[in-house]
Amino acid sequence: MIKLIKPLQQLARRTPLGWLQLTHDKGRMLVAIAGIAFADILMFMQLGFQTALYNSNTRLHRALEADLVLVSPQALNLTRMSTFTRRRLYQAMNVPGVESVEPVYVALKTWKNPQTQKETAILLLGFNPDKPAFDFIKNHPNLPDIKLPDRVLFDREARGDYQQAITSIDRGERVTTEIERRTITISGLFELGASFAADGSLMTSDQNFLRLMPKQESKSINIGLIKIEAGADILQTQALLKAYLPSDDVRVLTKAEFIQFEKNYWTANTPVGFVFNLGVAMGFVVGTIIVYQVLSTDVASHLAEYATFKAMGYRTIYLLSIVWEEALILSLLGFVPGLGISIGLYAITRNATNLPVYITLFRAVQVLILTIIMCAISGGIATRKLQGADPADIF
């Protein structure tokens, strides 16, 4: 214990040369803090958009009332699911451990905003109203209404100008619009939110879906939902289904694999995931360059003082610790305004797009660690000139 206390006491008595050097030139310090804050904001926004990309496009996947999911091998993502024959659901019922199966129909369509009459992309979902496909909709009071012809439920969190129409629906008024040149009536609202693929969602019965999509046959489904019996093992049932069903016609996924299937599409098959990763890397590089310029200038301007310390017998490691101290201080001082501004920008983005962009503790710690690493790298590069400083050359 005494061995631990002594170094801490020596550290407490140590003159904070790094802090004193930074505050000596306040203008330079403020420039460095602003640069780090800018880099942090860039990283926060790119990471936030990336997380919103994955979360918004997998909300429906996470809400599925299923243990296993059947999809076509040609399916790319939720908005491009392709189809497979309904026969595979009946065949799945023959597999031990399977309790029930249900079809889901999905299509990305264009509809008219009931308020502005402008056309926009909407995700249309059809399922059996007696066995709702999503957990957040199964107790909806207006669920029986979608059994009626051309009745749908609308996402109140959809992106766009819908407030007047939503208010009318909340008052129980009749609100109609068009999809595929067919008049539909909005019977109620649910809460989900927009995604990068669609501005919102419509939910209706499987029969209404087929009325709105006359080119799709009832025997051609997009997603098959499988519930397993109580006590049955999910992975074992999945293996039995894979062995029983033709692999060239259908894929058997767990719920987690179905979520990952969607994430993989946005990461590997679209430029969006790459762009967000590139944005984080650019923020890191920009911050590193800015901090390096500040620390390098500081080292150059105080090279004579460092040489004096060397002539007095101070070891190089002590002199390097001063620069590392400056880097750590700058990382912390720059992170605070970067975090504060990012919280405000997240709120603005969330209100403008209805995307799930939130500051989390994990992301804050993630960016803080990246900031410290960024400043540490800058400090390490800036100290190269200091390591080669010779008192004899300077004096």
List the chain pLDDT tens, one digit each, 395 residues. 444 444 434 444 455 666 777 777 788 788 888 888 988 998 899 888 888 888 888 999 999 999 999 999 999 999 888 999 999 999 999 999 999 999 999 999 889 888 888 888 899 999 999 999 999 998 899 999 999 999 999 999 888 888 888 899 888 888 899 988 889 999 999 999 888 888 889 999 999 999 998 888 888 999 999 999 998 999 999 999 999 999 889 999 999 999 999 999 988 888 887 888 888 888 888 888 888 887 777 777 766 676 676 667 667 677 677 777 888 888 888 899 999 999 999 999 888 888 888 888 999 999 999 888 888 888 878 777 666 656 555 55
The answer on 167 and 141 residing in a single domain is yes
Q: Report the domain count for the chain.
A: 2
- At 25, which amino acid appears? D
> Residue 376's domain spans which residues?
14-56+271-394
Encoded tokens for 290 = 């800015």
The answer on 215 and 99 residing in a single domain is yes
Q: Which letter, b or e, does each residue of 163-187 get, where b requires 16 or more Cβ atoms within 10 Å of its Cβ?
A: eebbeebeeeeebebebeeeebbbb
171 located within any domain: yes
Q: Give the separation between CA 132 and CA 8, rounded to whole angstroms.
A: 62
Residue with tokens 């190269």: 384
Which pLDDT score, from 0 to 100, does residue 337 have? 93
CB contact set of 124 (below 8 Å; sequence gap of 6+)? 105, 106, 107, 108, 109, 179, 201, 202, 204, 209, 212, 213
The answer on 46 and 149 residing in a single domain is no
Encoded tokens for 69 = 């999911």
The answer on 233 and 108 residing in a single domain is yes
The answer on 191 and 107 residing in a single domain is yes
The answer on 375 and 238 residing in a single domain is no
330 located within any domain: yes
The answer on 110 and 228 residing in a single domain is yes
290 located within any domain: yes
The answer on 129 and 47 residing in a single domain is no
Are 386 and 303 in contact by the 8 Å Cβ rule? The answer is yes
Q: Give the separation between CA 335 and CA 329, rounded to whole angstroms.
A: 10
Are 165 and 185 in contact by the 8 Å Cβ rule? The answer is no
64 located within any domain: no
Residue of 282, 366, 296, 279 lying closest to 330 (CA atoms)? 296
The answer on 224 and 125 residing in a single domain is yes
Transcribe 252-280 into DSSP letters: EEEHHHHHHHHHHHHHHSSHHHHHHHHHH
The answer on 309 and 219 residing in a single domain is no
Beta bridge partners of 184: 177
157 located within any domain: yes
Helix (H) or strand (E) holding 190: strand 182-190
The answer on 52 and 81 residing in a single domain is no
Which pLDDT score, from 0 to 100, does residue 9 have? 44
The answer on 132 and 90 residing in a single domain is yes
Residue of 176, 174, 197 lying closest to 111 (CA atoms)? 176
255 located within any domain: no
364 located within any domain: yes
Burial (CB count within 10 angstroms: exposed 0-12, middle 13-18, buried 19+), residue 8: exposed
Secondary structure letter of residue 324 according to DSSP? H
Question: CA angle, corner 97, sides to 95 and 101, nearest 5?
Answer: 70
Long-range contacts of 245-249 (CB under 8 A, 24+ apart): 245/70, 245/88, 245/91, 245/92, 247/73, 248/73, 249/72, 249/73, 249/84, 249/85, 249/88
Which pLDDT score, from 0 to 100, does residue 93 have? 93
5 located within any domain: no
* 3-state SS assignment for residue 224: strand
CA distances (Å), 297 to each of 34, 36, 46, 291, in order?
17, 16, 30, 10
**10 phi and psi, to 5 degrees?**
-65, -35
